[in-house]
Amino acid sequence: MIALHTLSKGMISMSKTMPATPLYLCCLLIPIIIQLRHSKADVGTASRYSPPYLPSGCYGTEATQFPSSNLFAAAGEGIWDNGAACGRQYLVRCISAEQPRTCIPDQSIQIKIVDYAVSAVSPASAAGTTMVLSDKAFATIANTSATFFNIEFQQYNPFSFLSFLHSFLSIITFYTIASTCRPAVLWLLVIEWKRVRCQEISWTISGFE
């Protein structure tokens, strides 16, 4: 956090020495990074299923298919993709539910798809959801008294071209604003950038617990 504070002070100092771009142009650039951060996320629903989990629709009776964290799921029709979903990993967080205080605030998980919800050995707590989470995955982000909840999810692949493109465009946009915009506008951008980085770190840590 000290490094981020130093970076923000340096950027503001640099911006004071450069010609100022009209304020409205800076305001138009700020949403670009915010949009880049959220553009890949989808909204859906999640339910839960309990043991037995074998055999699964992806890997049969292979015991090594489950991650050590026990954060896994069965894919619903919407993301099954004729079996191509097997092995995919998703970042998932609970965003809302019918029952108040169902979602655990600021908690996200990284799950692996190992099964097909339609043919899973164990029934889901609610039919037709986007994904069916394991007991451990469900309890990590939501109150276990719920049968299903609304989620925000996105496929996780740190080495994909889209991830690289997202990072590259974010850096270019940040540098452009830092080198041309007024300090007050730049400070708003730094605050947003810090918030996004903290959320990404939280997602990564919770995914490997």
pLDDT at residue 189 tops 90? no
Question: DSSP character for 103?
Answer: B
Instruction: Determine the Cα–Cα distance for residues 136 and 65; give it in Å rounded to an integer.
Output: 16
Evaluated on CA atoms 159, 165, 171, 174, the torsion sign reads negative
User: What is the domain partition of the chain in residue ranges?
Assistant: 2-39+159-207, 42-155
CATH of domain 42-155: 2.40.40.10
- Non-local (6+) Cβ contacts of 127 within 8 A are 47
The highest-confidence range among 23-27, 64-68, 176-180, 191-195, by mean pLDDT, is 64-68
Would you place residue 58 in the very low, low, confident or very high pLDDT band (cuts 50, 70, 90)? very high
Would you place residue 201 in the very low, low, confident or very high pLDDT band (cuts 50, 70, 90)? very low
Least confident of 11-20, 50-59, 124-133, 161-170: 11-20
- For 111-149, what is each residue's pLDDT tens digit? 999 999 999 999 999 999 999 999 999 999 999 999 999
